[in-house]
Structure 1
Amino acid sequence: MTTTGTEAPKPRAGASLLLLASGASFLAVLDVTVVNLAIPDLHDDLGSGFKGLSWVITLYAVTFAALLAPAGRLADALGRRTLFVTGVSVFTVASALVAASPNLGVLLGARAVQGLGAAAMIPASLAIVLTDSPPERRRAAIGQWSAAAALAAAVGPAVGGSLVDLAGWRSLFLINIPFGLYFLYGATGIPRTTGTGARKLPDALGTLLLGAGVGLLCLSISKGSDWGWSEPSTLTCVLGGPALIAVCLLRSARHPAPALEISLWRERTFALANAAAFFYGVALFAWLLVGVLYVTEAWDYSELQAGLAMTPGAFAATFVALRVGKLPPSYGPRLATAGGAVVLAGTAFLLAFTLPDQPMFLAYWLPLGITSGIGMGAVTTGTSTAAALSVSPLRFAGATGLNQTARQIGGALGIALLATVVAGRTTGIADFERIYLISGCASVVVGVLGLGLTFAKPPAPAAPTSAPATTATSTATTTDRKTPDADTADTTR
C-alpha cells in the first residue's frame, strides 16, 4: 500500500480501526448471503417471475465483479479513507433505495449500485487493516478481518431467514442503514491520506466493457428461451456480450492501469486457479440459491426454516476453510481444490438423482449439507491460496482481485443458468435436480483444473487463507503493496 501525506495514527487507529474494517467486511458478505432467502418473499410482494428476480443476485454479482479489481487501485489513487467513506456511503444509500423499492425495476437498479458500494468497501477495509495495524499484529489483524467475513457467511442464512419471516424482505436492507451510519462515524478515525500520483486511475472504459459484456451474456442465457434463440435481441446479447469482454481483455493487455491484471495469466498456476474459480462460481451461486428454492417449495419450509436448514453447511465450510488454510503451500492448494471438488461433485450428483419430495432434514439434508460445506470450504481456500501463492508478494493484490472477479463472473452465469431451468415458483423436483447436475459437472471441471495447481519452488511466505465458502461475493483485494510487510498480506474467498 503506497500512500502519501499520511497523518500520524491516532490512538483509536489500532483495535477500533480493525473493528471498523472487520465490520465493513462482515456487512458486505452478510448482504450477499441473506438475499437468497428473500427470493420467495419478493415473488409474493412484487409478483415477478423467478427469471426477473434472479437479477437481484446477478446484478450485484456483475457490478461487484467488474469493479472489484480496479477498486483496489483507487485506494492508492484516492486514499483508503476516501474510498472507504465513498463505498460505505454508496452502499448505505443504495440499501435504503432497495428497501423502499416500489417495483422490480427500481429494486434492480438500486441493487446494482449496492454492488458498486460493496466493491469499494472490501479493498478499502483490507487497506485499513494492512496500513493501520502495527506490523507485529498485521497477520493476526488479517485473520480477524477474514474471520468476520467467515462469520457473516455462517450466520447469514439464519439471520436472513429470521428477518424475512418476522418483518419481510425489506428488513434485510433496512438493517444496513444504522450500520452504515456507524461506519461513516468510525471512518473519522482513519488517518487522512492524499493518495499518490505514482498510480494511475483504473481504466474506466475497460471496467464498463467488462460489466456490460458479462451482463449481456447473462441476459442472453436467462432470457433466450423467452425471446427465442434466433431473435435479433437474443443474438445481439449472445454475440455482443463476449465481444465486449474480448475488447476489455485487449485493452487490459495494453493499458497502463488495466481493468483486469491479465498479465498475471502468464503464470500457469495462477491461470488454472482463475479458471477453477470461474467454474466454482458457476457451481456455488446456483447451488446456494437452488437449495433455498427447493426447501421452500418442495418441502414447504418457511424462510426461517430454510435459513436454519442452510446454516450447518455454512458453518462446516467456515471451519474447513480455516483448517485448510494451514496446509503446507507445496501441496495444500492442489489437495484442497481437487479434493474439495470431488466431495462437492459427489454430493451434487447424489442430490441430482435422489431429491425427495417430502421433508427429510436429519436423515438426508443435514448430512449432505455438511458434506457440501466441507467441499465448498476446501475449494474456496484452495483456489484463493493458489492465486496468492503463484505470484510475488508485490502482486498479491492484483492476483486476489482477478481471482475473485473470475468467481463472481462465474457466479453470475450460474444464476443465469438456474433462471433458465427454474422458470417460476411452480417447479418440479426434476428442475432442482438439473441444477444440482449442472453444479456437479462444474465441480468436476474444478477438480481437474485443481490437479494442475503445483509450485515449482517454495513460494514466498503468506498468511494462511481463511474464507467463507457460502457467499459469492466475500473478497479481499487492495493495491499492490510495496511495504516490507507485503508478504503478510492475506486474502479471503
Structure 2
Amino acid sequence: MATTDADAPQRRSAASLLLLASGASFLAVLDVTVVNLAIPDLREDFTGSAFKDLSWVITIYAIVFAALLAPAGRLADALGRRTLFIAGISVFTAASLACAVSPDLGILLAARAVQGLGAAAMIPASLAIVLMDSPAERRRAAIGQWSAAAALAAAVGPALGGVLVDVFGWRSLFLINIPFGLFFIYGAIGIPRTTGLGTERKLPDLLGTIMLGAGVGLFCLGISKGGDWGWSEASTLICVILGPILIGLCLLRSAKHPAPALEISLWRNRTFALANAAAFFYGIALFSWLLVGVLYVTQAWGYSELEAGLAMTPGAFMATIVAMRVGKLPPSYGPRLATAGGGIILAGTGFLLAFTLPDHGMFLAYWLPLGMLAGVGMGAITTGTSTAAALSVSPLRFAGATGLNQTARQIGGAIGIAVLATVISGGISEIADFERIYLIAACASVVVTALGLGLTIKLPPTPAAATPPAQPAGEQKTPAPDAAN
C-alpha cells in the first residue's frame, strides 16, 4: 500500500530531520572555508588568470549567497521548507558537479554563482526544519546543534581542503559535495509537506533582490579591478558609484515593499542594527584573514596546500571551541562581552601580524600561538553577533533575524576579498602586501569592538513578575514585544 505525506513524520524522527538540517548547514559553510585552499592550485591550472580574477571564485559565491539568503527565508515560508530544501540541495549538488568539470575560469565562476544560489536556499530551509520539526522543549538545543554544524565545517574545512587539494587537486573540493547532496535529497523525503502559497505568504521582492546582488557585485568588481582599470577611469567609477546606489535603492524599496528583499524593519531595534553592523565589519576581517593566511604560508614559507590547511586548523578548532563556550554566557551581558572582547583580541593579533610577519617559516614559535589567539577572537565574535541578533527580536522573527545577520557578514566578506585582491600584488610574494591585509583586518576588528560595546539585551520580565497575582485563569497574556534598545 502506498504511503502518504502524512506518514512522513513517522518515517523520520525529529532527530533524523535535525541531522539532515545540520548536514545541509555543514555543507554550505564547508564550501566557504575549503575553497581558500584551492587558490594556489587554481593559479597553476589556469596559468593565464591573474590572482584578482581567481579571487572571484570566493567572492561570487559570497555575493550570491548574501543577496539571496534573506529572500530565501521568505521563500521557505511561501513554498514550504520541504520544497525549498530539495530545490536548494539539488541546485547546489548540480552546480558542484559543474564546478568540478569546469574547463576554464569563466565557467567555474558561473558554476560557483549557481552554487551560491543553492546554498542560499539550503540555509533558511534547514533552519525552518529545525524550528518547525523539533519538539518545543528541544528547540533551543536543536538550534545549537544546527549552529554547531556550521562551526564544525569552519573548523575541519582547512585540514580537509588541504588534504583534498594536495592529494587529488582542486576539483575534488567540489566532487566531494555530490554524494552528500544526493544523500540529503533522499533524506528530504521525510520532511513533512506544507501547503502552498497562502493569503499571507508572499514571494520575496525579485527586483529588490537583483538590486542587492548587482550592487554588491559592481562595488566589489570596482574595488578588485580598480588597480588594473585605473581608479579614475569611467569603468571603475561606474562600479564603485553605481554599486552603492543600487544597494541604497534596494533598501528604500525594502522599506515599503510588503515582501521585501531585506527585512530592514528589524533595524529599528538598536541592538539588532549594531549586531548587523558588527557582523558586516567582522566579515571584512574574517574572509580576508582566512585567505591571506593561506596565501602567506604557501607563498612566503613555501608550504604545500596540505601543510597550509594543517597550519590553519588549530585556530579554526579554537574558534569552534570558544564559540560553543561563549554561547553559554548569560544573555544580559554575554553578546556584548563576546563581541567587544573578541574584537579586541582579533584586532591586537592583526596589528601584531601586520608589523612582525617573518619571511621564513616559524610555525611553533609564531604562527601557532597567534593563530590560536585569532581563533579565540573569531569564535567569540561569531557567537556574540549571532546571539545579539537573535535575542534582540521576538522568537517569531528569529529566522529572519538570523538570515539578515548572515547576509551582513557575507556582504562584508565579499568586500573584504575584493579589498585583498586589489592590495596584494600580482606576484603575491611581497611580505608587505600580506602585512597590509592584516592591518586592514585589524582596523575592521577595531570597529567590531566599538560596535560590540553597544550590544545590550533587555530580556522580557519573568512570568512571575509580568503576571499580576489576581489575573483571571482564562485571560490570555500579551506576547512580549521585541526588546527596544
- Give the TM-score taking structure 2 as reference length: 0.92
- CA distance in 2 between counterparts of 1:109 and 1:156 reads 23
Structure 1 residues 78 and 7: CA distance shift in structure 2, 3 A = farther
State how 1:42-81 maps to structure 2 within 5 Å. Answer: 42-47=42-47, 48-81=49-82
Does the 8 Å CA contact 2:124/2:399 hold for their aligned counterparts?
A: no
Structure 1 residues 6 and 332: CA distance shift in structure 2, 3 A = farther
- 1:33-70 deviations in Å (ceiling 9; x for gaps): 10000000001001211100110000000000000001
* Aligned residue identity for 2:82: R
- CA distance in 2 between counterparts of 1:175 and 1:20 reads 17
- CA distance in 2 between counterparts of 1:123 and 1:172 reads 24
Residue in structure 1 matched with residue 181 of structure 2 by the alignment = 180
Residue in structure 2 matched with residue 465 of structure 1 by the alignment = none
Does the 8 Å CA contact 2:8/2:189 hold for their aligned counterparts?
A: no
- In structure 2, the residue corresponding to 1:386 is in which secondary structure? helix
- 1:223-245 deviations in Å (ceiling 9; x for gaps): 01110112111111111101110
Structure 1 residues 224 and 80: CA distance shift in structure 2, 3 A = same
Structure 1 residues 460 and 401: CA distance shift in structure 2, 3 A = farther
Q: Which moved more, 1:249-258 or 1:16-25?
A: 16-25
Does the 8 Å CA contact 1:297/1:425 hold for their aligned counterparts?
A: no
Residue in structure 1 matched with residue 413 of structure 2 by the alignment = 411
Q: How far does residue 141 in structure 1 lie from its aligned partner after superposition?
A: 2.2
- CA distance in 1 between counterparts of 2:230 and 2:79 reads 46
Does the 8 Å CA contact 1:97/1:110 hold for their aligned counterparts?
A: yes
* Aligned residue identity for 1:271: A
Q: Which moved more, 1:401-410 or 1:304-313?
A: 401-410
- CA distance in 1 between counterparts of 2:136 and 2:275 reads 29
Residue in structure 2 matched with residue 132 of structure 1 by the alignment = 133
Alpha-carbon RMSD across the aligned residues, in angstroms, is 1.7
Does the 8 Å CA contact 2:278/2:447 hold for their aligned counterparts?
A: yes
Does the 8 Å CA contact 2:8/2:190 hold for their aligned counterparts?
A: no
Residue in structure 2 matched with residue 118 of structure 1 by the alignment = 119
State how 1:272-287 maps to structure 2 within 5 Å. Answer: 272-287=274-289
- In structure 2, the residue corresponding to 1:37 is in which secondary structure? helix
- In structure 1, the residue corresponding to 2:227 is in which secondary structure? helix
* Aligned residue identity for 2:170: W
- 1:436-480 deviations in Å (ceiling 9; x for gaps): 00000010011011111113x32589xxxxxxxxxxxxxxxxxxx
Q: Residue 427 in 1 paired to residue 429 in 2?
A: yes
Q: Residue 37 in 1 paired to residue 37 in 2?
A: yes
* Aligned residue identity for 1:422: I
Does the 8 Å CA contact 1:209/1:248 hold for their aligned counterparts?
A: yes
- 1:339-381 deviations in Å (ceiling 9; x for gaps): 1000000000000000001100000000000000000011111
Q: Residue 23 in 1 paired to residue 23 in 2?
A: yes
Structure 1 residues 314 and 59: CA distance shift in structure 2, 3 A = same
- In structure 2, the residue corresponding to 1:9 is in which secondary structure? helix
- In structure 2, the residue corresponding to 1:10 is in which secondary structure? helix
- CA distance in 1 between counterparts of 2:221 and 2:342 reads 31
* Aligned residue identity for 2:442: G
* Aligned residue identity for 1:221: I
Residue in structure 1 matched with residue 367 of structure 2 by the alignment = 365
Q: How far does residue 15 in structure 1 lie from its aligned partner after superposition?
A: 2.2
What number of residue pairs does the alignment pair up?
A: 459
- CA distance in 1 between counterparts of 2:57 and 2:162 reads 17
* Aligned residue identity for 1:117: G
Structure 1 residues 398 and 426: CA distance shift in structure 2, 3 A = closer
- Give the TM-score taking structure 1 as reference length: 0.91
Q: Which moved more, 1:106-115 or 1:261-270?
A: 261-270
Residue in structure 2 matched with residue 208 of structure 1 by the alignment = 210
Q: How far does residue 423 in structure 1 lie from its aligned partner after superposition?
A: 2.9
Does the 8 Å CA contact 1:341/1:447 hold for their aligned counterparts?
A: yes
- CA distance in 2 between counterparts of 1:193 and 1:421 reads 49
Structure 1 residues 460 and 351: CA distance shift in structure 2, 3 A = farther
Does the 8 Å CA contact 1:150/1:318 hold for their aligned counterparts?
A: yes
Residue in structure 2 matched with residue 14 of structure 1 by the alignment = 14
Residue in structure 2 matched with residue 346 of structure 1 by the alignment = 348
- CA distance in 2 between counterparts of 1:127 and 1:425 reads 45
Does the 8 Å CA contact 1:273/1:449 hold for their aligned counterparts?
A: yes
- CA distance in 2 between counterparts of 1:165 and 1:459 reads 52
Does the 8 Å CA contact 2:127/2:399 hold for their aligned counterparts?
A: no
Residue in structure 2 matched with residue 153 of structure 1 by the alignment = 154
- 1:248-279 deviations in Å (ceiling 9; x for gaps): 01100000010011111111111111111111
- CA distance in 2 between counterparts of 1:116 and 1:132 reads 24
Does the 8 Å CA contact 2:275/2:452 hold for their aligned counterparts?
A: yes
- CA distance in 2 between counterparts of 1:151 and 1:44 reads 30
Residue in structure 1 matched with residue 84 of structure 2 by the alignment = 83
* Aligned residue identity for 1:31: D
Unaligned runs of 5+ in 1: 462-483, 488-493
- CA distance in 2 between counterparts of 1:322 and 1:290 reads 26
Structure whose CA Rg is larger: 2
- CA distance in 2 between counterparts of 1:177 and 1:425 reads 34
Residue in structure 2 matched with residue 226 of structure 1 by the alignment = 228
Q: Which moved more, 1:6-15 or 1:392-401?
A: 6-15
- CA distance in 1 between counterparts of 2:371 and 2:314 reads 7
**Runs (4+) off by over 6 Å:** 5-8
Q: How far does residue 11 in structure 1 lie from its aligned partner after superposition?
A: 3.2
- CA distance in 2 between counterparts of 1:100 and 1:224 reads 31
Q: Which moved more, 1:275-284 or 1:15-24?
A: 15-24
Does the 8 Å CA contact 1:390/1:459 hold for their aligned counterparts?
A: no
Q: How far does residue 6 in structure 1 lie from its aligned partner after superposition?
A: 6.8
- In structure 2, the residue corresponding to 1:194 is in which secondary structure? coil
* Aligned residue identity for 1:16: S
- CA distance in 1 between counterparts of 2:70 and 2:13 reads 26
- CA distance in 2 between counterparts of 1:68 and 1:7 reads 31
* Aligned residue identity for 1:419: A
Does the 8 Å CA contact 1:277/1:383 hold for their aligned counterparts?
A: yes
- CA distance in 1 between counterparts of 2:16 and 2:276 reads 35
* Aligned residue identity for 1:315: F
Percentage identity across aligned positions? 80
Q: Which moved more, 1:288-297 or 1:231-240?
A: 231-240
* Aligned residue identity for 2:105: L
Does the 8 Å CA contact 2:51/2:426 hold for their aligned counterparts?
A: yes
